[in-house]
Amino acid sequence: QKEVEQNSGPLSVPEGAIASLNCTYSDRGSQSFFWYRQYSGKSPELIMFIYSNGDKEDGRFTAQLNKASQYVSLLIRDSQPSDSATYLCAVNTDKLIFGTGTRLQVFP
Amino acid sequence: GAVVSQHPSRVICKSGTSVKIECRSLDFQATTMFWYRQFPKKSLMLMATSNEGSKATYEQGVEKDKFLINHASLTLSTLTVTSAHPEDSSFYICSATGINMNTEAFFGQGTRLTVV
């Protein structure tokens, strides 16, 4: 089993819709969880991090963590074409491990 | 957020030569730096973790004699790809964290290496 799993997509949503990105992880000892956005040919940029069970909101983004289910998600409200990118889930145990990323396409 | 500067952003080299990539934390002390490699349309693959003043810890399958990592100070880590071959062509990215491992990792801009 991969340490961090994501659906590769692409996930296509219309502009203004909610995009839901999901991630599961295998190490129950994981303490912190991150969502990065990566545009083609660029380095990842941090969107949000979450440590505690529940929801964490920042602008149009909401991260959700369920440690019992080993599941973390990212919701993007009012999706914009500029949100089209690959979204990487990362889990920190003693090192930061990335999922394969989900490609999001927001069409006008 | 903190700034991590990576140089060069692009490099083209001939097979058999060595290439050095620098990763600097500009406004914080990076106790740990990570080096990743990313092939097109693939995720970041961790190559090694380096702590200041100690030897790097390499991931399984990564040749330590080929990918030399030096983390001599709290602000600088270098990755040297020795005797580069075309299959080493990839996007190399460093990231750095401070003292608290739960803080987010700050990424450099990445280095696109092309070996011809």
Q: H helices then E strands: how many in chain B?
A: 0, 11
Q: Nearest CA of chain A to the CA of B26: how many Å?
A: 17
Q: Which of A97-101, B72-76, B77-81 has the highest mean pLDDT?
A: B77-81
Q: Cα distance from B78 to chain A (closest Cα, Å)?
A: 17
pLDDT tens for B97-115 read: 887 545 567 899 999 999 9
> Which DSSP category does B108 fall into?
-
pLDDT score at A8: 87
Stretch A31-47: mean pLDDT = 91
Which has the minimum average pLDDT: A63-72, A91-100, B22-31? A91-100
Using DSSP, how many helices (H) and how many strands (E) does chain A show?
Answer: 0, 11
Residue of A nearest to B37 (CA): A43
Single out the residue of B30, B52, B28, B26 nearest to residue B109, CA to CA. Answer: B26
- Are A101 and A8 within 8 A, CB to CB? yes
Task: Give the pLDDT confidence of B9-50 residue by residue, as tens digits.
Answer: 999 999 999 999 999 999 888 888 999 999 887 888 999 998
Which pLDDT belongs to residue B100? 59
Cα separation, B106 vs B108, in Å, equals 7
Comparing B41 with A20, the larger pLDDT belongs to A20
Partner-chain residue, chosen from B1, B43, B102, that has the shortest CB–CB distance to A92: B102
| Inter-chain CB proximity A34 and B109 less than 8 Å | no
Q: Name the residue among B34, B104, B109 with its Cβ closest to that of A46.
A: B104
Q: Is the peptide bond before A108 cis (omega within 30 degrees of 0)?
A: no
Of A9, A21, A3, A12, nearest to A105 (Cα)? Answer: A12
pLDDT surpassing 60 at residue A79: yes
Residue of A nearest to B57 (CA): A95
B-chain residues within 8 Å CB-CB of A97? Answer: 46
A74, A83 Cβ separation under 8 angstroms: no
- Cβ <8 Å between A96 and B43: no
Distance from CA of A14 to the nearest CA of B (A): 23
B111-115 and B10-13 as β-strands: parallel, antiparallel, unpaired? Answer: parallel
Q: Enumerate the residues of chain A whose CB falls inside 8 A of the CB of residue B43.
A: 88, 98-101
Reply yes or no on whether the pLDDT at B7 is more than 50: yes
The answer to whether residue A94 scores a pLDDT higher than 80 is: no
Candidates B37, B60, B46, B74; CA nearest to A97 is B46
Mean residue pLDDT across chain A: 93
* Residue partners of A47: CB distance under 8 A and separation at least 6: A35, A36, A37, A58, A61, A74, A87
Inform me whether the C-beta atom of residue B104 falls under 8 Å from chain A C-beta atoms.
Answer: yes
Confidence at B58, pLDDT banded by 50, 70, 90: very high
